[in-house]
Amino acid sequence: MQRMVIEGGYPLRGQVAVSGAKNAALPLMVAALLTDGPCELANVPALGDIRTIGGLLQQLGVRVEDLGGGKVRVNAARLSGYEAPYELVKTMRASVLVLGPLVARCGQARVSLPGGCAIGARPIDQHLAGLQALGAEIKLEHGYIHAWARRLRGADIRLRLPTVTGTENLMMAAALAAGRTRITPAAREPEVVCLAEVLNRMGARIRGAGSETIEIEGVAHLSPFQHTVIPDRIEAGTFAVAAAITAGEVTITHCRPDHLGAVIRKLRQAGVEVEAGPTTLAVRCKGPLRPVRVTTAPYPGFPTDMQAQLTVLMTQAEGISVIRETIFENRLMHVAELRRMGAHIAVRGQVATVYGGTPLSGAEVMATDLRASACLILAGLAAQGRTVVSRVYHLDRGYEAIEEKLALLGARIWRERA
């Protein structure tokens, strides 16, 4: 078990490059299941979750090659299985993304039903209802979803809420279905748009990705693709908060500020100077931080994946901030750890009231999920003294070389074996 040690109190300065987006790379690797030739991805981050999906694809008979330099080749020409076992799904819920593509390509799939997760119950009922609407038969037995269909057929799918991986799963399934599918309200996240672009490059006929309604005209065959994964907007946002919370000055490169509208607006409201270029964000924080009110929402709203990071930033603002989490029912677990570092935060239901202006002091804290771990690292950067964050494996699922990147910006941070 590894842990991260941080000596806080040093302002970050310099340039940092953002890696490819985990949540875009995962569905793109899975999309290779829809065709029988070599698909190549560039800008794939070296992360735990990417290795997990690679391992799952390999178990299905797919050839996954790490070509180095962030390039990965995925070839499902010899696809021989249709099962995603419990051992993998329990370590990464996004494994459920194989469900739609496997039914579309092989006529069936057996995927372990994901259990609850640290941040919420996270059911997948909308993935299943959508697949049923596309004509799949679905049976749940022994903890596994068994779905099958001779050929999926297009349908009008009305989702209860705009689920991100649900939209991706159904878009991939519908790409090879007979006839027209309509998904509404579809998730509008940049990762969904990125997947739609790739599917279209493969020969799919998808319109409306990025809007509330996605229309898919099914085709009989899809071809291999090459694509560069979009930059990770949450990693970029996390570095922006790192710059702000240490009163530093950082230029974030290789990013897409146009994917970060809600985050940039909130940071500016809080008094952080943010200058956005086409692929860069210059972030500077000189004056005092102002408190903000923020409510998480599906894209283009403020992302739930940035909520923990904004919460820690607000502990340093002069006044009371109100942070409302609306996407996941248990995503304020970092609060208890932040309190151990001196933060004054009250929680009622899904609302955190942050009484800012309390200095943070280094402590031993424990990460509970990916974004909560990032928030604890940020707290450690701002705190006086030494912070030790345990359960670093959460962080390694979603942040590529984070301690190296932060150290290059002047942070005193290193990894230790516990």
Closest contact distance (angstroms) between CB of 95 and ligand EPU is 10
Q: Annotated catalytic, 117?
A: yes
Closest contact distance (angstroms) between CB of 356 and ligand EPU is 25
Residue 241 vs 383, nearer CB to ligand EPU: 241
Query: Which conformational region is residue 142 in: left (phi greater than 0), alpha (psi within -120 to 50 degrees), or beta?
Result: left
Q: List the structure tokens of 67.
A: 């070509």
d(CA 394, CA 99): 24
Residue 125 vs 212, nearer CB to ligand EPU: 125
Residue 6 vs 24, nearer CB to ligand EPU: 24
Residue 154 vs 398, nearer CB to ligand EPU: 398
Asked if 40 contacts 64 with a C-beta cutoff of 8 angstroms, the reply is no
Asked if 138 contacts 146 with a C-beta cutoff of 8 angstroms, the reply is yes
Closest contact distance (angstroms) between CB of 370 and ligand EPU is 4
DSSP-derived secondary structure letter, 360: P
Q: Which helix (H) or strand (E) holds 4?
A: strand 2-7
117, 194, 285, 375: which is the annotated catalytic residue? 117
Concatenating the DSSP letter of every residue in 192-257 gives HHHHHHHHHHTT-EEE-BTBS-EEEE--S-----EEEPPB-HHHHHHHHHHHHHTT-EEEEES--G
Cis bond leading into 300, ω under 30°?
yes
Closest contact distance (angstroms) between CB of 301 and ligand EPU is 10
Residue 189 vs 403, nearer CB to ligand EPU: 189
d(CA 345, CA 100): 42
Closest contact distance (angstroms) between CB of 369 and ligand EPU is 7
Residues that bind ligand EPU (CB under 6 A): 23, 26, 94, 120, 122-127, 161, 163-166, 187, 191, 304-305, 327-328, 370-371, 398
Give catalytic residues, as residue numbers: 117
